[in-house]
Amino acid sequence: MSTETQNAAATIAAAAPAASGASTPSTSFLSSVAGDNPYFTAGFGLMGVGVGLTLLRKGLVLGSTALQRRMLVSLEFNVKDPSYLWFLHWLTHQTEAAQNRGWLRSHQLSVATAIERRKNGSQAVAFRLMAGPGVHWMKYRGAWMQVRRERETRAIPGADGQPWETVTLTTLSRDRRLFPELLAEARDLALRGHEGKLVIHTAWGIEWRPFGKPRRKRPLASVVLDEGVNEKIVKDVEAFLERREWYAERGIPYRRGYLLHGPPGSGKSSFIQALAGELNYDICLLNLSERGLADDKLNHLMSNIPERSIVLIEDVDAAFNKRVQTSEDGYQSSVTFSGFLNALDGVASGEERVIFMTTNHPERLDPALVRPGRVDLAVLVDDAAPAQAYKLFCKFYDDDGTLAARIRDVVQEGVMRGRRISMAALQGFFIRNGPKEAIQATMEYLGLGRSLSS
């Protein structure tokens, strides 16, 4: 063996142990660093713990979400839904008692102020605390519920200026049956205050909203009209309400329009209010002079009238005098005459409605407005007739008919001389005076110039 061969064999033999038991250069580097640097080892450990915690958190989130989907149920309603106001009214009514019993836990409260104005001019103010925007907890029929009331302050308010709000109720899935029961209870509580009362609605933007508190219904018999006038209108309205299917079978739009015309104080508006109470209807008061009301909004309002409501448009002659409507400050209404006619019976106009219009000057109305289909029945509600004065006198005073006959004769003589008195004026005399004094005041008003004894 040559010298070169021996050297090569020695080199391979020396390298063999390193190849069989030693690590690679990179492994040797990591080992040396890890062995010499305890911070590196700790960092590796912390990183592992962090990864583990991240995975655990994601697992908990996914598990919590899955658990919520299986065990919890939520109900949301917004400010545009009627149930929203019902629930807040119910919550306001329940807040004080609920807190005393310990089944309403809330640290964010709002105040609801109720002002009651009495007939003598005084007023009473009551404050009620209710759950404000935020998260609250309440117990309803043994089940805990989370109440989340949210108000979107960044959103643009609606046409009525009210901010966008939502209420979300959350409870266990097993208790979801309680949602309809709670809403039904809230609805019944809200409507209980309307029983036997008349609700007046007015236009707020493109919506109808209750105006003020519900009013006590006025008996229809309390409004004394001339002989046969009351019966004529009531009979026509009742016949219309009973012929819904008749209209549908013949493809006729189910709507009817009435015009009550006559001098001021004759009882037009009072009769409509009493009629609505008699039919258990509400009244939607439409003011065509309202600022911001345009043809499109008017059409929307007329197409979305609350159920069982009478639309009342008072002094319709003033709304379109010369077909231009301008207020004292120079504001000109955006409602056009053609737009109003289209809202009454155009292609896009709504159905299932009863419209009453009043005017003191029927001669000023455009013939296009009073044609059949827009005004189906026009009735004169005039100043006091002798028979009306007699009936009204009997309602105010306990009389055997002698003095009532005298007031009838006084009014009859005034009519013969061309002198009239309104029912409102007669009622004013009857309210302020006794029977004889009322007759004397009526005579003086009519200029008869005689004493009661004459």
Summarize pLDDT for 155-195 with one digit per residue, the tens.
555 545 567 888 898 988 888 888 889 888 888 887 776 66
Radius of gyration for the chain, computed over Cα atoms and rounded to the nearest angstrom: 40
- DSSP H or E run through 353: strand 353-359
Residue 437: pLDDT band with limits 50, 70, 90 = very high
| Helix, strand, or coil (residue 178) | helix
Q: State in words which class domain 215-380 has.
A: alpha beta
Q: Which of 357, 441, 452, 360 has the alpha carbon at shortest distance from 406?
A: 452
Distance CA 179, CA 172 (A): 11
Q: What sign does the dihedral 276-277-283-287 (CA atoms) show?
A: positive
Q: In the structure encoding, which two tokens stand for residue 309, read together?
A: 């409501």
- All CATH 3.40.50.300 domain ranges in the chain, comma separated: 215-380
Q: In the structure encoding, which two tokens stand for residue 129, read together?
A: 């605390």
- DSSP H or E run through 165: strand 164-172
| Helix, strand, or coil (residue 446) | helix
Share of the chain above pLDDT 90, in %: 31
pLDDT value at residue 37: 56
Q: In the structure encoding, which two tokens stand for residue 182, read together?
A: 């709670």
- DSSP H or E run through 93: helix 82-101
Q: Which of 270, 282, 359, 284 has the alpha carbon at shortest distance from 318?
A: 359
pLDDT value at residue 157: 52
Distance CA 249, CA 216 (A): 37
State the burial class of residue 328 (Cβ atoms within 10 Å of its Cβ: 0-12, 13-18, 19+). Answer: exposed
- The widest CA-to-CA distance across the chain, in whole angstroms, is 172
Distance CA 432, CA 438 (A): 8
**pLDDT greater than 80 at residue 324:** no
The set of residues, in sequence order, having a beta carbon less than 8 Å from that of 401 and lying 6+ positions away, is 394
Q: In the structure encoding, which two tokens stand for residue 398, read together?
A: 């306990």
State the burial class of residue 247 (Cβ atoms within 10 Å of its Cβ: 0-12, 13-18, 19+). Answer: middle
185 alpha-carbon distance from chain centroid: 18
Q: What sign does the dihedral 312-314-316-320 (CA atoms) show?
A: negative
Contacts within 8 Å (CB) and 24+ apart, 2-6: none
The pTM of the full predicted model, rounded to 2 decimals, is: 0.66
pLDDT value at residue 217: 87
**pLDDT greater than 80 at residue 244:** yes
DSSP per residue, 366-432: -TTTSSTTT-SEEEE--S--HHHHHHHHHHHS---SHHHHHHHHHHHHHHHTT----HHHHHHHHHH
214 alpha-carbon distance from chain centroid: 13
Average pLDDT over residues 186-212: 81
The set of residues, in sequence order, having a beta carbon less than 8 Å from that of 88 and lying 6+ positions away, is 130, 167
Distance CA 417, CA 430 (A): 23
Distance CA 332, CA 354 (A): 28
**pLDDT greater than 70 at residue 65:** no
Q: Which of 383, 333, 376, 326 has the alpha carbon at shortest distance from 355?
A: 376
CA atoms in the 13 A half-sphere facing the CB of 294? 3
**pLDDT greater than 60 at residue 21:** no
Pick the range with the lowest mean pLDDT from 17-21, 59-63, 280-284, 306-310.
17-21
